[in-house]
A and B are shown apart, each in its own frame.
Chain A
Amino acid sequence: MALYHNEDQAMLADTARQFMGEEGTIGKQLRHWRDKQCKDGFGHALWKQFAELGFTGILVSEADGGLGMGHVEAGIVLEEIGRNLTPSPFLTSSVMAATALGGGNDELRGRYLPGLLAGDSVFAVAVDEGPKHRPERIATRAERAGNGFKLTGSKAFVVHGGSADMLVVAARTAGADDDQDGITLFAVPKDAAGLSQDAVRLVDSSMATYVKLDGVQVDADAVIGEVDAGRELLTRVLNAGRVGAAAESVGVAGGAFDMTTTYLKQRKQFGQLIGEFQALQHRASHLYSELEIARAAVIKAQQLLDAGSDKAELMVSVAKAKAGKAASLAVKEGVQMHGGIGMTDEYDIGLYMKRDRALAEFMGDMYYHAERVAQLSGY
């Protein structure tokens, strides 16, 4: 398969770019909700529009009423989300939770997918338990109780947890904290007794929660997939989130880069445009190549995931690490090359820096993924 968008994908990209360029802008979304101190951190009206365009069901199978597309297509939407810094529950709901639910039974999919497709529901995924992404170690327990399970433990960095109608929770039904096996995924409704959430606003104005599970009782039908054998499904969910976050990072980087090169062509000092200085030209050109390479790594990982290749795992980590590295460079160079104005809240470049930082942590930073690359390569 060629490593560029086919015709249908290019059309989707045009649609997404145009729509997000009009409706998802920093002024209409990010700043609007931020300045209102919105407790969701995103707009439900835009989420409804995502549904009308079919975006909410990109990864939902056609049999379940979705578009049955893949990670390349989800990534197209995410890149535009990134470019416009659009706050949206798309990644947690339509990419990660949808992937989890795809591994669930008919009843579970029937319960949750229609709300997602309609843009009425929002989902979150609760995996991390500390400030760093360490999904190999899961201490949250689920013990059999009555007709179902009782969940006890705590989760951190649950993005959109406070707005979510349902949380996908990874818990341990067997074994020790560090065991591969013994993981089960649960669909926990937001109003389950014993579930409490502490909401925090993050540096990029997005909302996340710390989740406490204090003997949360769920029925057996809350189990997504198989009891004790949820690691594989969890990995699929994580990989979907990782490659999705990488695509969003590429969008963030692209947005910051475009702003910066535009500025280089406008701002004058010493009687000339600052873009005429070779010192800045070379840094901009270096950044350009890093971005191109990150973009290539991301589409390669998306295609491998969609093809079910056994090389996907490695490439997903490469993509997340590389996109994180490139985007971090893009926002840092962006702020520096804007000079003083880059430090002001009024100017948008700083917003890119904040979003990049949050995305870098989400689903594992470049150090975590470089470590995985080493392990998967046998060293």
Chain B
Amino acid sequence: MSDLEAFRGEIRAWLEENCPPEMREPVRSDDDICWGGRKFQFKNEAQKLWMERCAAKGYTVPDWPKAYGGAGMNAAEAKIWREEMNRIGARPPLSSFGIWMLGPALLKFGTEEQKVHYLGQIARGEIRWCQGYSEPGSGSDLVSLQTFGEDKGDHWVVNGQKIWTSYANKADWIFCLVRTDKTNKYQGISFLLFDMESPGVSTKPILLISGNSPFCETFFDNVKVPKHQIVGDLNRGWDVAKYLLGHEREMISGAGGNDRLNTIGAFAKRNGLEDPLLRAELAMFDVDALAFSAMGEKFLDEIKVGKAHPAQPNMMKYAGTELNKRRHELLMATGGSAALEWDSEASGGGSKARTWLRTKANSIEGGTSEVMLNVISKRILDLPGA
């Protein structure tokens, strides 16, 4: 037996033993997701146990180095981990912006001290992070951002406003883009980390069309940020921000997802599938979904060995989010009038309709589909003037 097959056996046995049965059920709504953090309320004992058991082994962040709270898995091992998780339909033990976005950026740009401190907290689910990028006047054109940090010797004083800050009211810390030089557009932004309980930080939830309010306006009124809380060099935050966006886009694309959940024809059949044209649409969708799964696998394999085009996460984000919107359109069509229910118990509090509405944001958040196509045109296809 090869080392990898032995490794697979170990992982399989560990999962069998340690993943609680409740954690093998599909995620149905946002509160099934374990976000961690100081304010997080576990939904049940199983969720807590699952996160803690994984954190103890480094499995919340399997491919991070052991020194920073991970399990130190190489690319092939991490792939086996994903496959074995998918095999039993296990939920991720911990989901967070720390894992998907800040962590990779710190691994690349952080000091040793920052890595040990912040990455460990993320891996153990102790600190929940939010992302302070967008501003009212700066969405797709993010680099025009205005939030300003004034140099006060050993600290900055930050003033300004962010918007669409997901979970700002639930997060413990923020990674934030702040202008530190008004004379230089790209090289005048710094990447700062600070506590959301710092004096001067306030948030105001925004209600979404889904009826939920997972994001906020975030205001900074003379917020003091110590100088050691910068990631990367002064005024070079745009490099960190862009690198992080690559990881964000990869995450939103859904690469590495589970085929059983990604295809919908078999699932739709359980509701009765009598319309032949709908069935045909589902079949065409499942072709695209299974092909995209292969793409996700290929992308993750290639990115680990540096074979993927550096701008490929933009393609993944574009294709993955457009596919996910189509998936939920079809799920609504399959559900018929029952899927319209907004707050009934039978509908799980309108989970079908609310999720459908929520997916419309997939092609907006983290860079819109149009912006993704712009980036592909420029960086991959090298088209003129793009």
Contacts and interface: CB of A to CB of B under 8 A. Distances in A.
B268 interface: yes
Which residue of B263, B286, B294, B299 has the most chain A CB atoms within 10 A of its CB atom?
Answer: B294
Nearest to A281: B377
A317 to B, nearest CB: 8
A292 B253 CA distance: 14
Given A314-B290, A369-B287, A374-B265, A265 B377 contact: no
A3 B284 CA distance: 23
A125 interface: no
A237 interface: no
A276 to B, nearest CB: 4
B256 to A, nearest CB: 12
Interface stretch (B59-67, B177-185, B378-386): B378-386
A278 B374 contact: yes
B301 A294 contact: no
B279 A300 contact: no
A282 B380 CA distance: 12
Most buried by A among B265, B279, B290, B299: B290
Contacts of B385: 272-273, 275-276
Given A278-B374, A296-B298, A374-B265, A264 B287 contact: no
Interface in A1-40: 2-4
Given A4-B302, A300-B294, A377 B373 contact: no
A261 interface: yes
B291 interface: yes
Interface in A168-197: none
A285 B373 contact: yes
B288 interface: yes
Contacts of A338: none
A369 B303 CA distance: 30
A378 interface: yes
B221 interface: no
Given A278-B374, A288-B315, A289-B376, A370 B284 contact: yes
Contact of B301 (A4, A286, A289): A4
Contact of A379 (B282, B302, B370, B373): B282
Interface residues on B, range: 35 or more
A299 B265 CA distance: 24
Interface in A334-379: 366, 369-371, 373-374, 377-379
A319 B380 CA distance: 24
Give the dominant DSSP class at B's interface.
Answer: helix
Contact of B290 (A4, A288, A373): A373
A273 B386 CA distance: 11
Contacts of A321: 284, 287
A293 interface: yes
Contact of A281 (B273, B288, B373): B373
B373 A322 contact: no
Interface in B257-276: 263, 265-266, 268-269, 273
B283 interface: yes
Residue in A285, A288, A296, A374 whose Cβ sees the most chain B Cβ within 10 Å:
A285
Contacts of B302: 2-4
A318 B291 contact: yes
A276 B283 contact: no
A288 B318 CA distance: 11
Given A294-B291, A379-B266, A275 B383 contact: yes
B304 to A, nearest CB: 8
A297 interface: yes
Interface in B332-386: 370, 372-374, 376-377, 380-386
17 contacts: A2-B301, A2-B302, A2-B305, A3-B301, A4-B298, A261-B381, A276-B386, A281-B374, A281-B381, A285-B374, A288-B380, A290-B319, A293-B291, A296-B294, A318-B287, A318-B294, A322-B287
Given A4-B301, A265-B382, A275-B385, 11 more contacts: A2-B302, A3-B301, A4-B298, A4-B305, A276-B386, A281-B374, A292-B315, A293-B294, A296-B291, A296-B295, A370-B283
3 closest residue pairs by CB, A with B: A276-B385, A300-B294, A297-B291
Interface of B: 75-76, 263, 265-266, 268-269, 273, 279-280, 282-284, 286-288, 290-292, 294-295, 297-299, 301-302, 305, 307, 312, 315, 318-319, 370, 372-374, 376-377, 380-386
